[in-house]
Structure 1
Amino acid sequence: MKIIKEKIDFNLSKEKFQYFLTFISEKEKNKILKYRNYEDSLRSLYGKLILKNMLKLDEIQLKYNKWGKPELINNSRIHFNISHSGEWVAVGIATKPIGIDVQKVDKIDLSIAKSFFSKDENEYILSLCQSSRKDAFFKLWTLKEAFIKAKGKGLYMPLDSFTIKILNDKPILYSDENKRCQLSVKQVEKDYFMAICILEE
Structure 2
Amino acid sequence: MDIYIYCIDSQANDLDLNTLSKTEINRYLNFFFIDDQINYAANQIIKRSVLEKKLGVLAKNIKYVTDKNGKKKVSSFYDFSASRSKGASVFGVSKNRIGVDIEKIIDTNNRYMPLKNAFLCDAETGFINNDRELIINWTIKEAFLKYIGKGLYVEPSSFGFKILNQSKIEFYKGINNFSLECLDYLVFVINRKYCISICFPKKEKKIRIFLLNKNREISIICNTSATNLEILNKSFSFIFNKQ
Same fold (TM over 0.5): yes
1:122–1:2 Cα change, 3 Å? same
For residue 200 of structure 1, report the CA deviation from its aligned partner: 6.6
**Contact preservation (8 Å) 1:97, 1:199:** yes
- Counterpart in 1 of 2:154? 157
Contact kept, 8 Å, 1:25 with 1:61, in 2: the verdict is: no
Please list the CA deviations of residues 73-129 of structure 1 after superposition, one character each: whole Å capped at 9, or x if unmatched. xx2210011111122111111122211111101224212112221111111114xxx
1:76 aligns with 2:89: no
- In the alignment, which residue of structure 2 is the partner of 1:129? none
1:84 touches 1:90 (CA, 8 Å); kept in 2? yes
CA offsets 1:154-195 (integer angstroms, 9 cap, x no match): 222211121112122322334232432211211111121110
Change (3 A) 1:78 1:46: same
| Structure 1 residue 53 corresponds to structure 2 residue 49 | yes
1:11-50 residue pairs with structure 2 within 5 A? Answer: 11-12=11-12, 20-50=16-46
Matching residue of 1:114: 117
Specify every segment of 5 or more residues in structure 2 that has no aligned partner in the other structure, as ranges.
Answer: 204-243
Match of 2:193 among 187, 191, 194: 191
Which residue of 167, 184, 201 maps to 2:164? 167
Residue 69 of structure 1 deviates from its aligned partner by 1.7
Q: Which runs of 5+ in 1 are unaligned?
A: 127-132
Are residue 63 (structure 1) and residue 62 (structure 2) matched?
Answer: no
- Matched residue, 2:94: 94
Q: TM-score when scaled to structure 1?
A: 0.82
Q: Distance in 2 between matches of 1:102 and 1:139?
A: 9
| 1:85 paired to 2:92 | no
1:172 and 1:183 in contact (8 A); partners too: no
| 2:112 and 2:131 in contact (8 A); partners too | no
Q: 1:66 to 1:24 in 2, by over 3 A?
A: same
Secondary structure, counterpart of 1:144 in structure 2: helix
Q: Does 1:176 align with 2:175?
A: yes
Bigger helix fraction: 1
Instruction: For residues 21-70 of structure 1, give each alpha carbon's deviation from its aligned partner in whole angstroms, at most 9, with x where no partner exists.
Output: 21122333334334344332322211121123323252143221222222
Q: SS at 2:65's partner residue?
A: strand
| Alpha-carbon distance between aligned partners in 2 of 1:104 and 1:159, rounded to the nearest angstrom | 19
CA distance in structure 2 between the partners assigned to 1:122 and 1:90 by the alignment: 28
Q: Using the TM superposition, give the Cα deviation of residue 196 of structure 1 relative to its aligned residue in structure 2, in angstroms.
A: 0.3
Separation of aligned partners in 1, 2:175 and 2:76: 27
Q: 1:62 is aligned with what amino acid? A: Y
1:130 aligns with none
